[in-house]
Chain A
């Protein structure tokens, strides 16, 4: 069974641009959640989706948004990028909510 796939693995963007990251969960998993990892703040929860509905959201500005498609694949979007958005963005999938969560390799975003 394939694991969680995140694309792209690396991304360099300029301040003010926007970016879209993609996550394909493990086949059959319906819950997808997103996290931001930085050296200063550690791992912080962004949002969680289940059956195309956002059910939980972390404490991030509205520039961070996401969605989930009917095949459970998910995307997250960050608009008007700031230098502080440079981070490793991790996606996790779970078969059902609040059980074991499996993470992808992450997307390393660098904002210059």
Chain B
């Protein structure tokens, strides 16, 4: 079935690295996404990775993709208090048009 799993909560100290993990079900997914949601706001697209890539780096963000294990991770270097938010990973399963399947979201708490 269609299912994306994430851990629910992560707490880190300011300046540390954060790693948010996600497992997905459809090995045929073409794109995998990371979104950020702050309180009262919509979803902000942080980054996405093509399924034929293993890694993508964008400033403080590093995405790692392990297709064999269907595992996706988002690493945030030098985490800041402004990074406190809920982070969602998402996939578009094969055969679907425009339908993102989201995980439950990981709440990242950054302590000063």
On A, residues with C-beta under 8 Å from B are: 4, 6, 31, 33, 35, 42-43, 45, 48, 50, 55-56, 58, 90, 92, 94, 97-106
Residues B99 and A43 in contact, CB atoms below 8 Å apart: no
On B, residues with C-beta under 8 Å from A are: 30-31, 33, 35, 41-45, 48, 88, 92, 96-105
Q: Name the A residues within 8 Å of B99 (CB-CB).
A: 33, 45, 48, 56, 58
| A98-B30, A98-B31 given; A105·B98 CB < 8 A | no
Cα(A91)–Cα(B43), bound, Å: 10
Q: Name the A residues within 8 Å of B33 (CB-CB).
A: 100-101
Select one of B48, B100, B104 contacting A35, CB under 8 A. Answer: B100
**27 A-B Cβ contacts within 8 A?**
A31-B98, A33-B98, A42-B102, A42-B103, A43-B100, A45-B100, A45-B101, A48-B97, A48-B99, A50-B98, A55-B97, A56-B96, A58-B99, A90-B43, A92-B100, A97-B97, A97-B98, A98-B30, A98-B31, A100-B31, A100-B33, A101-B100, A103-B43, A103-B45, A104-B42, A105-B41, A106-B42
